[in-house]
Every structure is written in C-alpha cells, then in structure tokens.
Homo-oligomer: A and B are copies of this chain.
Amino acid sequence: MNRDLVGAEVTAALGLLVRRETRERIYAELTRDVADGVTELTYPVISGLERRGPCNAAELAAVVGLDRSVVSRRASVLEGAGLLTRTSDPRDSRWTLLSLTEKGREVVAMMRGRLRDILSDWLDQWPENEVNAFVRILSDFTVSGPFAHNNAEALPAI
C-alpha cells in the first residue's frame, strides 16, 4: 500500500470516528440499562473518577476536559443515584472529596468490561500479529501522535 493511499484511508477512518453519532452510539451501547444516573453525559465523570481515584471537582475537571461547574452538576446526578459520595477533603476542609461508592465502582467495571468484550470479540476475526500491530499503532497515535492531547494527564472519556 502506498503512502498516499494509506494516508487517505486513515483520513477517512478518522473522519468516521469523530462523527457525533459514533460517540453517541458507543455511549448508548455501554450505558444501556446499567444504572440510574449513568448517561452519555455522566459517563466521563464516573469513569474519570474511577481512573483518577478520589479527588475534588477541580482536579477531576482538569483531567476529563470539563469545567468544574459541569463536573459538580454531574457529580450531583451520580450522587443522587448512589454511585458517588461527597466528603470533606482531609487535605483542606474547604474542598469536597468525590469518591465512588461500591456500586459506582461496579457500574464502571461493568461498562468498561462490556466495551472491552465487544472489542476483543470483534478483534478475534483478525490474525494475532495484525491485532498486535493495530493496538500498538493506535495506542501510540492517541497518546503521542500528531493530534494527541497536550495535557499528558488527559483521561480517556470511557
């Protein structure tokens, strides 16, 4: 495959990936019937909190790419659904520490496992060495490719 064709193919693939419906379809599939309060909007917050561990709203906002006001509002939804708790942050009692409940952790594990299984199953149709190459290049592209996030702390939205 020549250079230009490769570039054009990846261009088209990227163009389909970044469409709004693609994102929506992924979130719809993963959050379906999982728990009250978990939607396309709250998913990045609950998932980010699981990846980052207990932290305050400003810290979480920085790694999920949202304003702290948005994180605060979505955290309230998750709190109301029993997936997240607010406690005083021992580092500074002005702050509020966000932590997942046991149920919150279960929900994240279920959703992320669901996606992992969907992807693993689909990838099974390809030869192992090709899958390894795919994963290696795709991971590197998102982490340090030409359009990687400047913020090295940026977390996946899933």
Contact = CB atoms under 8 A, between A and B. Distances in A.
Interface of A: 1, 3-4, 6-23, 25-26, 29, 47, 65, 112, 115-120, 122-124, 126, 128-139, 141-143, 145-149, 154-158
A157 B26 contact: no
A158 B19 CA distance: 9
Work out how many copies of this chain go into the complex.
2
Given A11-B156, A15-B156, A120-B7, A134 B129 contact: no
B136 A16 contact: no
Contacts of A25: 147, 149
B12 A139 contact: yes
Contacts of A12: 139, 142, 156, 158
A106 B25 CA distance: 33
Contact of A18 (B6, B23, B148, B149): B23
A129 to B, nearest CB: 7
Contacts of A141: 13, 122
Listed residue (A9, A19, A136, A149) with the most chain B CB atoms within 10 angstroms of its CB: A19
Closest 8 CB pairs of A and B: A15-B156, A15-B158, A7-B116, A130-B133, A7-B120, A16-B142, A133-B133, A134-B137
Contacts of A19: 65, 149, 154, 156-157
Contacts of A142: 12-13, 16-17, 22
A3 B121 CA distance: 9
A17 B20 contact: no
B6 A157 contact: no
